[in-house]
Chains A and B, each alone.
Chain A
Amino acid sequence: MAGKILRNLARFILLVLLQGLILNDAHLFQGMAVPFLYVFFLLMLPPETPRWLELMIGLACGLAIDMFTNTIGMHASACVLLTYLRPFVLKGIAPRDGYEFGMRPTISDMGAVWFVKYALVLIFMHHLWLFFLEVYSFSGFFNTVLRAVLSTVFTFVLVLLSQYLTFPKRSVGRV
């Protein structure tokens, strides 16, 4: 249990620094696609996390990122949305006989198809919400949606890579 908390805390600090100091400068197609790899931390939270705690973690994570981008409240709002929706998505794509206790939301535990569904839906919701908050209007609707779609793909590729880097195979210690 304590190990689990420590590992998540370490992942949090690492991803926030990575996002704040390096990935915020990364972009493709003139800023149309921006990676927000830090959502990987929220995706990897243990599914049995109490829901109120999950929301608080989302808020804290978003505020930490907001400090780097001077957009206080914006990432926080998107993260809170993501953590609120996560249990619904988990329920919606559950395998026929449910989840076994202590499973990790990873490819090695749940399979690639499950993970693609899980990650893509949540990342897209987060990005769409974030980009609409950023422009704060529905003018240029399709431009904003396109930004969200391209960024989702970018983030998703990075999430997949980090997934293979940090969860190599079903390891002895569980995260």
Chain B
Amino acid sequence: MRNFIQFLVKYHIFLFFIGLQVLCFWLIVRNNSFHQSSFANSSNRMVGNLFAFKNTVTQYIELQSVNDELAEANEALKNRLNESFIPVNEHFVMINDTLRERKYRYKSARVINSSINKQLNFITIDKGRKDGLKPEMAVINPRGLVGVVKDVSEHFSTVIPVINLSFTASAELKRTGNFGLLKWDGKDHRYAQLNDVPGHADVQVGDTLVTRGASGIYPVGVPVGTVVEKEQRPGSNFHRIRVELFNDFGKLRYVYVAENLLRQEQLRLEAETAEDGR
């Protein structure tokens, strides 16, 4: 016993150090689980407000290009308005459409912080629980896929962008319909990788990649990027495909958060099927 106490006294700093490291690792592991909201991230009140302040200072710099992008999006939407169409025939009338049900609901948000120089990049946006945001909602913008919501606080949310090592999404080649897993390799924020596309698939440089919507998070057909490089290693059944992303994560300003209103239904059905299949 005396030896033990002597040991404790002699190495108390080292033991304290080990204790703190264990605490840190516990925090890291806990934070890695998707649903776990943590008290200390940039969606908390203090840091969120600091980022919002920073954004008011810096947002003017990119005002021009942001305006251009918004104008483009407006143009595309205007083209789909009812007023842009004239009746084909006097006998048809507009009626309340019961053949279609709303599946996605969009909410616009402003990016108040983002990074591109880390392995685990995050984006903070200025909409939160108050605006109906929940974890696992898709984040897109007119150029294409941005990421997925991670944590939500009252007024802010954090987003895992495509350029985060823990990001994965199912994506397909628009031309052939072959799909694979979209991941980032942690190197260049302009490129991502599409894995698990079978080797017999016809992949061409220049093919467009869109989301597949398999997990019910992302809307179907959101543009992701174009194929710039493909390689099939000898002995491998799969292509290694390098994708140039449409989005420039270095200058995101406005994004849309998409909620899939039918996602719970899809997940419940899939869970039931999985249970029956055993």
Binding site for B on A (CB under 8 A): 17, 20-21, 24-27, 30-31, 34, 51-52, 55, 58-59, 62-63, 66-74, 76-77, 80-81, 84, 131, 133-136, 140, 143
Contacts and interface: CB of A to CB of B under 8 A. Distances in A.
A21 B189 CA distance: 20
Chain A interface helix/strand/loop/mixed: helix
A94 B165 CA distance: 42
Interface of B: 13, 16-17, 20-21, 23-28, 30-31, 38, 40-42, 44, 46-47, 50-51, 54, 113, 115-120, 122, 124, 150-151, 158, 165, 186-189
A66 B116 contact: no
A19 B88 CA distance: 61
A51 B115 CA distance: 34
20 contacts: A17-B50, A20-B47, A20-B50, A21-B51, A27-B116, A34-B118, A67-B46, A67-B47, A68-B47, A69-B118, A72-B27, A72-B40, A73-B26, A73-B30, A74-B28, A76-B27, A80-B20, A84-B13, A131-B119, A140-B186
Given A30-B189, A31-B117, A67-B44, A72 B31 contact: yes
B33 to A, nearest CB: 12
B119 A63 contact: no
Given A31-B116, A69-B122, A52 B16 contact: yes
Given A31-B117, A80-B17, A71 B50 contact: no
A24 B51 CA distance: 12
A77 B122 contact: no
Leading 6 A-B pairs by shortest Cβ distance: A73-B27, A27-B117, A77-B24, A31-B117, A73-B28, A70-B122
A70 B17 contact: no
A66 B113 CA distance: 14
A71 B116 contact: no
A58 B17 CA distance: 11
A24 B115 contact: yes
B47 A143 contact: no
B13 A70 contact: no
B31 A55 contact: no
A143 B116 contact: no
Given A69-B118, A70-B158, 5 more contacts: A31-B117, A55-B13, A69-B115, A72-B31, A77-B25
B25 A67 contact: no
Contacts of A73: 23-28, 30-31
B192 to A, nearest CB: 14
A67 B158 CA distance: 12
Nearest to A143: B187
Q: Determine which residue in A25, A31, A34, A74 has the highest number of CB atoms from chain B within 10 A of its CB, and name it.
A: A31
Chain B interface helix/strand/loop/mixed: mixed
Nearest to A81: B21
B169 to A, nearest CB: 19
A24 B189 CA distance: 15
A31 B120 contact: no
A43 B80 CA distance: 60
B116 A77 contact: no
A4 B47 CA distance: 27
B115 A25 contact: yes
Contact of A34 (B20, B117, B122): B117
A77 B19 CA distance: 11
Nearest to A71: B120
Contacts of B38: 72
A140 B119 CA distance: 12
A72 B47 contact: no
Nearest to A80: B20
Given A20-B47, A27-B116, A31-B116, A70 B24 contact: no
A67 B17 contact: no
Contacts of A84: 13, 17
